[in-house]
Structure 1
């Protein structure tokens, strides 16, 4: 039975689907990006390494989940399979005892007769938190400064490393060379000269001439080209 199915597949007119190899796409338009391009990485991986983004919106079809992106194997996390800043880590109950206990000195008040500790002086009373609730220590304080917009957001964080590729791209965008204005080619100048020699300044007749104007340029477009041609002749 399998042999018969294989024969029918070979006779089918539907082309066989072949697995495509890795993309050889390389960004050559920008010399700065082309200099730091890694051919063994995908477009998204190259852009992420250079500190850029391949698209403004979120990626469709999912996103590559790496260990660094997921925040796994972090020493600050209570578990290796969850990120340190995740809700699962904040609500995780660690049952094992701490390996080291910090020694602190406190001032206490004792009973003069029995010597029993009555109270601890200078210690901040904390509410019991058996479930390690991260919101347990937060208090409703009316003196907290409210957010005043983007004026509170610093332009650059202290100690933040500057990406050299981003810096080079910003310098190139700030001091980039402007494009040279478009000039008429010799063929276009000859075409405009033929129209002017036959019709003068009658642009409507130039636009209706199917022999000299086979591309059916409008009268306004021809007028603009004639004006540029006369400026180059002066």
Structure 2
């Protein structure tokens, strides 16, 4: 009986359910992450241990989204669906009218004949912001400044534990990727030698030679290659 069931199972078009083994994914593009990678952990577990995030949005699947986790119904927040310390709450525009209005005393200059107010003396320079826009106080004079990359990373606060992986990544981002200088191959050097032996310093004739220069390299390009070849000979 068991043999007949096995035959039917093999003939069935339903794919067999096989248990998947541990993932063999490994992030090798970045040497800093590859050095601290643990093959026995998942991608999310590795990123969480290194102080990184694998997703820009909320995690989906395998993580319970509780009210406390999402910061819902936070009394200090102006929105019921976000926490008080979230970016959405900081940029939320509250359109309700203020409960109290602050009374201020200002000096004004009036026209002696008509009594009309000409100008206000000692007025507060705070910009008018009736909608409580948090971006209203941003100085427009700094619009031309360029972003300084990871040099703008804030300093570590007192008592905050320093993550060595994050420190290495920030240092690598500040320094930038350094490209190794390109070296001429042996065939390129032989090609340059043949051009120099035939034409000397006449780069115009080198560029017009269809036999020695079948790829039609320009005069400036050949000059640069010859200069690089001469520098390697010294």
Alignment TM-score, normalising by the size of structure 2: 0.48
Alignment TM-score, normalising by the size of structure 1: 0.48
Say which one has the larger Rg: 1
